[in-house]
Structure 1
Amino acid sequence: MDIIVGIDVSKERLDISIAPLGTAFFVENSHAGLDDLIRRLKATHGAEASCVVALEATGGFEMLAAAGLSSAGFAVLVVNPAQVRAYANAIGRRAKTDPIDAEVIAAFVAATRPEIRPLRDAETQALSALVDRRRQIVQMIVAEQNRLRMVVETQAQQSIKRLLAALRRELDSLDADLDEHIRKSPLWRVRERLLVSVPGVGPATARTLLAEMPELGSLDRRQIAALAGLAPWTRQSGQWRGKSFIGGGRGKVRAALFMAALVASRHNPILKAFRDRLVAAGKPRIVAIVATMRKLLTILNAIIRDNKPWQNA
């Protein structure tokens, strides 16, 4: 009998529901609470492949529990809260409390049987945090540059310039930290060189992929596109045919690929010809760019899989 442990995560506590046994309890969202949870699960069920633990993504509050349970040998899933809420609505569970949410998470996993993927290790999580922080600093620099163009008062201009100088120093420091982090791993060094060999892909895109998509090279082209949220989904009913859309998946990867595709559609001969053919065939430019993103990701996936750098065909 499969055991599914649903956990609703908040800053202070973890609410646990175990299906199909109906057991429910809570522990603190702390190292001590997590140790207590692991002891109780092992004492009752053991850390077996048939015992699956599912948590909602909650902006980081789930990271301690997910890492600890995975290290203890449990199969861990971090599920999309929007999908869980949609499932709850579909089965008529309108009430929403932490214990109920834990029960719904367990029921959602039992019903949908999502694929269990290995969680990112501590080094990959640290790389992801640095990549995120670099993205935030770049966004702040762009915002301050826009303000500088609008401000005419001298003192305000000087304030913005001082802040820009500080932000650029911090950006340089983060780039140095990222360089050092990449150098720690021979595998990352090799993969970064392979990724940046593709015209249009720079270090920022390569490092985002290393941090946010460790599955790169291990999945087929359809699976990797779906993981990034670049697989189009169709809307139709009877004779009606709606437009196809992309969505879901890993937004940070998609954002990095969008910028890379814009550059590649100008400077990468193969991807430029691909984008130009789509535009010439009447496709809207944004549709052509999305298709270029998907093709670029397919190329990068093959490069990592085959361990061979880009070659102009």
Structure 2
Amino acid sequence: MRITSDYYPMDTINFDQIQQQSVGIDVSSETLEVRLGTRRTDHQLAYTPCRSFPNTQQGFANLLEWLQSHTELSELWFIMEATGVYYEEFAYFLHQKGFRVCVLVARRAKNYAKSLPIKSKTDAIDARLLARYGLERQPRRWQPPSQLLRQIKALLRERGQLKKQRTQLKNQRHAAQRAWNHPESSLRRLTDHIRQIEDYISQINRQLEALWSSQEQLAEPIRRIGKITGLGRGTVLQVIAETNGFALTTNRNQLASYAGLDVVFEQSGTRQAATKISKQGNVHIRRALYMPALAASRHNRALRAFYQRLVERHPNHKKIALVAVMRKLLLLIYSLWKSGQSYDEEFHYQQITQAA
């Protein structure tokens, strides 16, 4: 089917000419920039002028009222991009009303934009781009995370920020202790601040333990997968929370891409750049997997063999080998979560050595 790049005013289209419609919403903290896109029966594309609505409950109601004058709401796809947390209220509003919502991760929207002859970037253009995505692609319906996983993810991210602050403060205190004649009062405040942050971290740890262990459907795989040598329950919990129980991906390659652990190749003519990972995915997953990968590469028999094999092939690229272990751990969590099986280190070791 051929779809042209011509655009026609919406007021020139009769309802019997409409084949498919979607709404593109460019979301910011204050506003929703909205365009309704239509694919006609002759495969031409048409868009409304951009309309702006407040990113509030009243704005949501006004947006739906405006759309009702143009189309049948039950047939629409609402396409938006995951922009921080600003899209969430509107996405939940639409989901609760039973509308079809597609939330694109930033990388997917960016890659789609690259496939089109669009050089400029404005809110109106982004809204039209998202509407066009709904007309040309097969949108995947957004499933919001459970309340339990939302709470766990929020607490894990808060704990991560607190640990980062604690490290910074400890570095400051260390420098202050070595400085000449540094005020004792300043050192006491730094120490008190560190203790306060450690108290907050302890509180969060207790909350997390109570939350994930309260639901056996979540607790059972956390305990089972967390037995992998070098991994631990905390890492498994972070991966599950950040992926909404892997609801955001449908296969292993998508999962690796979502975490930014997919491999990027650059080759042109005789030039071939060093292989690297994209780092364009969820940074929280990569941070959570780094230390477990380091431990697994030393203490997990199967993953140690895998790591050593890669180091032997590329002795000057140990970091690449470590990233490969991170990816292995991520995919192990995914496989065991989906299959319900327990980790067999000996079997995994045999698989790796046979593949060598």
Question: Do the two structures share a fold, i.e. TM-score over 0.5?
Answer: yes
In 1: Cα distance, 2:338 partner to 2:125 partner: 43
Alignment pair present for 1:132 and 2:157: yes
Question: AA paired with 1:250?
Answer: N
Between the two proteins, the alignment pairs up a number of residues equal to: 310
Question: AA paired with 1:136?
Answer: Q
Alignment pair present for 1:251 and 2:269: no
Alignment pair present for 1:148 and 2:173: yes
- Within a 5 Å distance, the mapping from 1:270-285 to structure 2 comes to 270-283=302-315, 284-285=317-318
Question: AA paired with 1:273?
Answer: A
- Normalised by the length of structure 2, the TM-score is 0.78
Aligned to 2:73: 46
Aligned to 1:165: 195
2:260–2:281 Cα contact (<8 Å) kept = yes
In 2: Cα distance, 1:215 partner to 1:2 partner: 32
In 2: Cα distance, 1:295 partner to 1:156 partner: 45
Deviation at 1:280, TM superposition (A): 1.7
1:34–1:65 Cα contact (<8 Å) kept = yes
Deviation at 1:107, TM superposition (A): 2.7
Larger Rg: 2
Aligned to 2:16: none
Aligned to 1:233: 264
Deviation at 1:241, TM superposition (A): 2.6
Closer, same or farther in 2 for the Cα pair 1:275/1:114, shift >3 Å?
A: farther
Aligned to 1:94: 120
SS in 1 for 2:314: coil
Question: AA paired with 2:28?
Answer: S
SS in 2 for 1:35: helix
1:9–1:61 Cα contact (<8 Å) kept = yes
What residue ranges of structure 1 are gaps of 5+ in the alignment?
none
2:293–2:329 Cα contact (<8 Å) kept = yes
- Normalised by the length of structure 1, the TM-score is 0.88
**Higher mean Cα deviation, 291-300 or 207-216?**
207-216
State which of 190, 207, 212 in structure 1 corresponds to 2:242: 212
Greater than 6 Å deviation, 4+ residue runs: none
Alignment pair present for 1:8 and 2:26: yes
Closer, same or farther in 2 for the Cα pair 1:4/1:122, shift >3 Å?
A: farther
In 1: Cα distance, 2:176 partner to 2:108 partner: 44
Deviation at 1:121, TM superposition (A): 3.3
Aligned to 1:25: 51
Closer, same or farther in 2 for the Cα pair 1:58/1:184, shift >3 Å?
A: same
In 1: Cα distance, 2:314 partner to 2:160 partner: 34
Deviation at 1:175, TM superposition (A): 1.0
Aligned to 1:304: 337
Closer, same or farther in 2 for the Cα pair 1:216/1:95, shift >3 Å?
A: closer
- Per-residue CA deviation, residues 113-152 of structure 1 (Å, 9 max, x unaligned), is 5644533233322221111101111111111111111112
Deviation at 1:202, TM superposition (A): 2.4
In 1: Cα distance, 2:67 partner to 2:154 partner: 30
Aligned to 2:211: 181
In 2: Cα distance, 1:308 partner to 1:249 partner: 27
In 2: Cα distance, 1:52 partner to 1:62 partner: 15
Closer, same or farther in 2 for the Cα pair 1:249/1:183, shift >3 Å?
A: same
In 2: Cα distance, 1:127 partner to 1:42 partner: 38
SS in 2 for 1:216: coil
Aligned to 1:269: 301
Identity of aligned residues (%): 25
Deviation at 1:212, TM superposition (A): 0.7
**Higher mean Cα deviation, 86-95 or 233-242?**
86-95
Question: AA paired with 2:32?
Answer: L
What residue ranges of structure 2 are gaps of 5+ in the alignment?
1-18, 39-45, 347-356
Question: AA paired with 1:290?
Answer: V
Deviation at 1:215, TM superposition (A): 4.6
- Within a 5 Å distance, the mapping from 1:189-200 to structure 2 comes to 189-200=219-230
- Per-residue CA deviation, residues 142-166 of structure 1 (Å, 9 max, x unaligned), is 1111111111222222111100110
2:21–2:135 Cα contact (<8 Å) kept = no
In 1: Cα distance, 2:318 partner to 2:200 partner: 36
**Higher mean Cα deviation, 83-92 or 259-268?**
83-92
Aligned to 1:203: 233
Deviation at 1:91, TM superposition (A): 2.0
Q: Which structure has more RCO (C-alpha within 8 Å, separation ≥ 6)? A: 1
